[in-house]
Amino acid sequence: MTSQPNVRVPDAPTDDPSAALTAVVDKFAAFIRQSAGRHGLAQHEQDEAIQEVRIRLWKALETGENIRSAPASYVYRTTVSAVVDYIRRRRAKREDALETLPAEPIAARSNEADASVRAGDVEGALERALQTLPTARQAVVRLHLSGYDRFEIADLLGWTEAKTRNHLYRSLELMRIQLTRAGFNPGSYQP
């Protein structure tokens, strides 16, 4: 009797990293979302956090068997680390956005000499009023004057719409008061 050679059939469910990642991430998805939500991440950011956890588990554990046997504490630490790193990247991006805001004059200039002088006066007063605001509020006003709406500003700065609205309206009111004291009537200016 002849013997057949030993043929090894791979254990697909335990060796497949993709299937193992899907199983582990599905198992802990509610926890990952809860952790990300506690740190203030929006729904789409929670999805990114889940993807980041998936990538980190795959890079660190490599095989399906290792991924499936990872303890819950390891997945927890990986989740917290991914969420904190995401928040740090978002904060750094926000700070970069604040630094790159245009510092150029705000008011538009006209071709007519009289309008140009008037615009220069208003521009200077507007810039002086703007400079008295804290940096974050200056950013909100500059973005508003550049044509962004509250929702776009909130997204760019990583703030809530309510916080953006509050900073914008208070800043505009403070600037209106300063411009009025300087002899300008902000409501009646026509370039």
**Structure-token match 């928040």, residue found:** 87
DSSP 6: P
Residue 110: what pLDDT? 43
pTM given for the model? 0.44
For residue 116, give the 3-state DSSP assignment.
helix
- pLDDT means per 10 residues, the chain with 191 residues, are 48 69 88 80 82 88 87 86 81 67 51 48 78 84 83 84 90 86 65 36
d(CA 86, CA 82): 6
DSSP per position, 54-113: HHHHHHHH-SHHHHHT--HHHHHHHHHHHHHHHHHHHHHHHHHHHHTS--S--SPP-SSH
**Confidence at residue 189, expressed as pLDDT on a 0 to 100 scale:** 43
Q: What is the pLDDT of residue 9?
A: 42
pLDDT, position 99: 63
- Amino acid identity, position 129: A
> What is the model's pLDDT at position 98?
62
pLDDT for res 100: 62
